[in-house]
Structure 1
């Protein structure tokens, strides 16, 4: 996480970034080996013997990165570009949170009737479209537009999180349910942290790279404070748009993978498979 979060300032090829990323990967590999050899593992990686659980976990990672993008980038855009207060920036996120809370019981009932795949496909399709719309921001995009798109996006998200997680856990035998839940929650937390750092790095890097071109293309005078501020704002918007494009890619990956979700088999069958 440290490596991905400092890459925006030092570059992905800098010694400090590469060193910390390598240390992180090696430490993770050693942790996995240790857990696989432990009689009572803290995180039991044997849950990934289930193909559907592994699939839904990858989808969860993609969804988590996509979900955190607007929660992080939109407040930055509102406060730094549009000059909206922190209070109103937070209030913009509230209708989406309310929608998710209201939709939860309905999503559960639909999951029982039709399974996870239809819900995931529809929810991720909405997420892909609305996330892509956030890649078209300008320095004059309105507050009402942002709140509308964000709320629709969270409506799509409400169809994804619980069904995807439940579909994966249903593929595990009862003795591994607790380990599966712990694994999903841990991976989502890590994906959220690293994904957030990565998106901020993309935003800052692209903003740095585009500011010179913006100054030249718009004929700004870099010695003029007003022109420089305007150029900086446009570069920041460009960086935010590029970060949202990365988030869109993650949402598309989740959408494609969701077509491979199927209904789980019986517990007895799963127990037999894991026993072998």
Structure 2
């Protein structure tokens, strides 16, 4: 207990340092993390090109995304331990160098296997970068100024994947798919050079005992969960495939053992007592719903636009661009509003807008104008910006400084896992709706029936999304502004 108090005192002393130049640190971190997260969706519209180049199937090429989410899901929980073993500077430079090496391998990969290895290395760097950025802001800014800073994080975490398909569509239209990675290289190299000059250490290295069993259980638990849900759409068997249900069962058992062990350890890898803070717990549920909604919509809408509405990949990407831009603009604004008025001023109307948008999405059809899709997607992304970062900042503000690494690791892990679960859940509902519709028609192969079936599936998925949106609105009513505690 005494060592924890000393550590908390040291961290608080670090926070009070006024001679730290915040702007150069933030620039180096934001540039690196932006382009790392951009890669999560940058390949979304390049799959057909990659299948043709390497002669692989759709289920095989999907591993470029599945493996990325899997590695990030495994590494983020362990980041709470790593940030206490290495300095901020060591962690960021190491992660960015790893990401850059992976990007170079991807850009010049002669085979699919080497391309997949490059993606795994990219993901390892990305999985470490996200917690570094979050922890740096918590240590760099006092609670009353974190809203604006976290708004910039929102611009990175939500805006980057939102514009990924648009950028990808533009590059694929004009150049080879390899330019998706070549395009990123100058920015990642600049981030490394900028950080090497300006980035300072902000945390105390305590080097706690490493519990190997906890790392194994964490890897099996979080990694298995992401793998299981991400595998649902890869084969025809879906949920009934052993690869899916065995992975999920094993991961649930491993997570139960992991959590039980962490509550018993004096120095846990991941401190689950953060959930004793009610606003942190409420925020976590809200963020899970937001991530499920955002990631599933980012896949369902392009599929529907390119399917029944016959959009090209580029046109579908451009249709999603206004929402991505508005999300990026709104995130910093929401952060400043949070600092002045608190979370309720943003989160309650944000979740209400989400309910309205989801209700309208349940009514879309092939007769719906493209402009309506653009408008609904734009309001969806605005609503998510109003909820995500203000809610997350409010929840983390209730934690003491010693719990910052654990709080950010818990939130970012669950966001990653919920993104995978959301994609699997909503795609599964959409596929089920399509199948049910086609069973009731005379000629399932007729184009009009295929279009109507997909419409039925999309409407069914958004009906479930509406239920989640209503839950988020009810939870938002209970949110209140938090005050930094002395202990937990």
Instruction: Name the TM-score, length of structure 1 as normaliser.
Output: 0.87
Partner of residue 235, structure 1: 453
Q: For 1:173-188, what aligned pairs fall within 5 Å after superposition?
A: 173-188=400-415
Unpaired segments ≥5 residues, structure 2: 1-225
Q: Distance in 2 between matches of 1:266 and 1:43?
A: 20
1:255 shift after superposition: 0.9
Match among 289, 298, 304 for residue 71 of structure 1:
298
- Superposed CA RMSD in Å reads 2.0
Q: Is residue 110 from structure 1 mapped to residue 337 from structure 2 by the alignment?
A: yes
Partner of residue 264, structure 2: 37
Q: Say if 1:66 and 1:248, in contact at 8 Å, map to a contact too.
A: no
Is the partner of 1:6 in helix, strand or coil?
coil
Q: Say if 2:351 and 2:472, in contact at 8 Å, map to a contact too.
A: yes
Change (3 A) 1:11 1:98: closer
Q: Is residue 263 from structure 1 mapped to residue 263 from structure 2 by the alignment?
A: no
1:186 shift after superposition: 1.0
Partner of residue 6, structure 1: 232
Q: Is residue 59 from structure 1 mapped to residue 286 from structure 2 by the alignment?
A: yes
Instruction: Name the TM-score, length of structure 2 as normaliser.
Output: 0.51
| Relative contact order, higher structure (CA 8 A, sep 6+) | 1
Match among 247, 250, 258 for residue 465 of structure 2:
247
Q: Distance in 1 between matches of 2:250 and 2:390?
A: 35
My pick for the range that moved more, 10-19 or 64-73, is 10-19
Q: Distance in 1 between matches of 2:327 and 2:443?
A: 46
Q: Distance in 2 between matches of 1:100 and 1:12?
A: 34
Question: Structure 1 stretches (4+) deviating beyond 6 angstroms?
Answer: none
Q: For 1:213-224, what aligned pairs fall within 5 Å after superposition?
A: 213=440, 215=441, 220-222=442-444
Q: Say if 2:306 and 2:316, in contact at 8 Å, map to a contact too.
A: yes
Q: Say if 1:134 and 1:244, in contact at 8 Å, map to a contact too.
A: yes
Is the partner of 1:263 in helix, strand or coil?
coil
Unpaired segments ≥5 residues, structure 1: none
My pick for the range that moved more, 77-86 or 42-51, is 42-51
Q: Distance in 2 between matches of 1:200 and 1:206?
A: 10
Q: Distance in 2 between matches of 1:67 and 1:16?
A: 26
Q: Distance in 2 between matches of 1:246 and 1:43?
A: 32
Change (3 A) 1:94 1:118: same
